[in-house]
Amino acid sequence: MIEKNVCLKPYNTFGLGAQAKLMARVDSVSNLQEILADNSLHNEPRFILGGGSNILLTKDIDALVIKNEISGIELINETEDSFFVKSGAGIPWHELVMHCITNGYAGIENLSLIPGNVGAAPMQNIGAYGVELKDVFHVLEAVELATGNVRSFSASECEFGYRESVFKRKLKDEFVISSVTLRLNKQANLNTSYGAIDQELERLGISSPTIKDVSQAVIGIRQSKLPDPKVLGNSGSFFKNPVVQTVIYEELKTKYPEIPGYPAGENTKLAAGWLIEQCGWKGKVVGNTGSHGKQALVLVNYGNATGVEIFNLSEQIMKSVYDTFGVQLEREVNVY
Ligand code: EPU
């Protein structure tokens, strides 16, 4: 069924009230193919919506919004050391993480509580606490919008980078991801090196953690810093952490000895949250929006913000970080 003039407020984690001209919910590949083949819809531009957790809507969507609700989680194969788990793209990411933890499939415990759906995970190679989707990715299936054909993409074909993939670049708006298959471990290989996890486990009094304990620790850390989109509209980190030449980082360090920097190949990754905080934005309220008081990298909607207001705030933040540090921030969130 095609719905008309749908308010998208419940479908984006910023809680922005843009309207979709038309909306089709699809719950299977064949259902999606039917919509793509429907002649009466052929003249409509298409817009693919997943969990709406990485989008800033600055205007109404004068298009057919295809809401991906393809579900199902299945153990499709097992080898001596791995489980291959296939998930529909419309499953909320955290639901998949919980399913894996309950069944003892290890590898995505550090990615607990990330908002959004499974289909969005490879789009921007989600990552947190030292783990990225690409570390556990096996294969995905996607439907080509122009033809309705299903194609598989291996990890190398996805061209994963830091919050990047081929679906955000070369193949932008060409495919709808329908399923993602992960290769998870039978023997947990815990990654608690990200300082805060060890501290949280210690606080919880856990000395030999299980994947469930690591997940609980990550959930605790995230809840202490990141606002719950159900309570306060937001889209996680609004900007990427900028990667600069190490000589630039060294120069900045002579002027700002406290500046955090992490090796990224031969370059250095800076902490955008730190740069934004130094410019005085952390916790600052601007109209109906602002930078979150516990994590400056997160922009929030205090209730009645428009996408344009949030976009304008992001421009101001980018300008002041550039004027102060000479570093250009890039948005992680997709702006429409
Ligand atoms: N920092 C500040 N002030 C702030 C925020 C951070 O000084 O307001 C400093 C921290 O003290 C720390 C450094 O910045 O030295 C890094 O902070 P944090 O560990 O909170 O992580 P992040 O770099 O801000 C990234 C991801 C998050 C992910 C965390 C944990 C990006 C853009 N963001 O944030 O991902 O959860 O690491 O791994 O890479 C997301 O992408 O939406 C997201 C939440």
pLDDT per residue as tens digits for the range 148-176: 999 999 999 999 999 999 999 999 999 99
Atom of ligand 1 nearest to the CA of 291: 8
Q: Assess whether 332 carries a catalytic annotation.
A: yes
DSSP string, 8-71: -GGGSTT----EEEEEEEE-SHHHHHHHHH-GGGTTS-EEEESS-SSEE--S-EEEEEEEE---
- Output the pLDDT for position 154: 98
Q: How far apart are CA 107 and CA 189, in angstroms?
A: 7
Instruction: Note the pLDDT tens digit of each residue in 15-28.
Output: 999 999 999 999 99
Candidates 132, 163, 179, 309; catalytic one: 163
Domain locations along the chain = 2-68, 73-185, 233-335
Q: Percent of the chain having pLDDT more than 90?
A: 98
> Using CA positions, which residue lies closest to atom 41 of ligand 1?
237
Distance 37 CA to ligand 1 centre (A): 43
The correct answer on CATH 3.10.20.520 for the domain covering 233-335 is no
Segment 292-304 shows an average pLDDT of: 97
* CATH ID of 2-68, from 3.40.190.10, 3.40.50.11260, 3.30.230.10, 3.30.43.10: 3.30.43.10
Q: Assess whether 224 carries a catalytic annotation.
A: no
Ligand 1 first shell, C-beta below 6 A: 128-129, 236-237, 240-241, 260, 271, 273-274, 277, 282, 295-297, 332
> Using CA positions, which residue lies closest to atom 25 of ligand 1?
128
Instruction: Note the pLDDT tens digit of each residue in 307-317.
Output: 999 999 999 99
> Using CA positions, which residue lies closest to atom 2 of ligand 1?
274
Candidates 69, 132, 200, 332; catalytic one: 332
- Output the pLDDT for position 193: 84
Given pLDDT bands bounded at 50, 70 and 90, which one contains residue 1?
A: confident
Atom of ligand 1 nearest to the CA of 54: 42
Instruction: Note the pLDDT tens digit of each residue in 42-98.
Output: 899 999 999 999 999 999 999 999 999 999 999 999 999 999 999 999 999 999 999
Write down the mean pLDDT value for the chain: 96
Architecture of domain 73-185: 2-Layer Sandwich (3.30)
Contact between 273 and 296 (Cβ < 8 Å): yes
Strands (E), the chain: 2-7, 19-26, 46-49, 55-56, 61-68, 73-78, 82-88, 127-128, 131-132, 137-144, 150-154, 175-185, 233-237, 243-245, 261-264, 267-270, 285-286, 289-291, 298-301, 334-335
Residue 231: CB atoms within 10 Å: 8
> Using CA positions, which residue lies closest to atom 13 of ligand 1?
271
Contact between 312 and 276 (Cβ < 8 Å): no
Distance 273 CA to ligand 1 centre (A): 6
- Output the pLDDT for position 194: 82
pLDDT at 296 over 90: yes
- Output the pLDDT for position 195: 72
